[in-house]
Amino acid sequence: MIRNSKLALCATIVLAVAFFTLGCKPQQKNAVPPAAQQPAPQQETPQSVQTPPDAVPQTPAKTAEAKTENLSLKTVYFDYNQAALTDSAKETLRSNAKFLAKDKRSVTVEGYCDDTGSIAYNAKLGAKRARAVKRYYTRLGISKERISVATLGKHNPVSKKDKSLNRRAETKING
């Protein structure tokens, strides 16, 4: 519990510093970026240091390297400017939940966005995505007390060319 509090405090401090140092870019109204017209990516998963028995190995091209103290499960992806779970995302989360039902460690769901929009807007959207994943896990029987959420907005992109890969939520096992 103390570790989750420290993690939440660190994430809050990092976000606050980012907001104040980077500022906000003005948002263009009615502009539709080319990435919004691309189809959603095929479900692939990033590579982590360890792989749970039910998790599919993740490819490095899809996410940043996992830290040794955190183990990532399968990543879910979102449509442009959306926090609603797609059918593909729900299928992935059901697979993750099967593993989580056996493994009783706590997890952190991290919500991410592409670089379209302001830092503040993307932080909110990333939080909505993380909360949507948490809600779905709880519907699948995972205790909400085991799940914390964090938003990293448009920070830590995994691709500069394919923005759809950055619109994601990652579930990381703590400890």
CATH code assigned at 48: 3.30.1330.60
| Residue 170 confidence (pLDDT) | 96
The answer to whether residue 36 sits within a structural domain is: no
State the Cα torsion 15-172-88-115 to the nearest 10°: 20
Q: Which amino acid is at 32?
A: V
Each residue of 106-118: pLDDT tens digit? 999 999 999 999 9
Question: Does residue 2 fall inside a structural domain?
Answer: no
Answer whether residue 103 is part of any domain: yes
Higher per-residue confidence, 132 vs 63: 132
Note down the domain range covering 168.
Answer: 42-173
Q: Is residue 11 part of a domain?
A: no
User: For the CA atoms of 58, 60, 63, 69, what is the dihedral angle to 10 degrees?
Assistant: 70
Decide if 61 is inside a domain.
Answer: yes
The structure tokens listed for 159 are 């691709």
Confidence class for position 89, pLDDT limits 50, 70, 90: very high
DSSP string across 70-103: -EE---EE--TT--SPPHHHHHHHHHHHHHHHH-
Measured between alpha carbons, how far is 27 from 158 in angstroms, rounded to an integer? 23
Structural domains in the chain (count): 1
**What per-residue confidence (pLDDT) applies to 3?**
55
| pTM: predicted TM-score of the whole model, two decimal places | 0.62
57 in a domain, yes or no? Answer: yes
The mean pLDDT of 124-135, rounded to a whole number, is: 97
Mean pLDDT, rounded, of the chain: 74
| Rounded CA separation 64/142 (Å) | 26
Is there a domain that residue 13 lies in? no
pLDDT tens-digit map of 3-52: 555 555 555 555 544 444 444 444 444 433 434 433 333 333 333 333 34
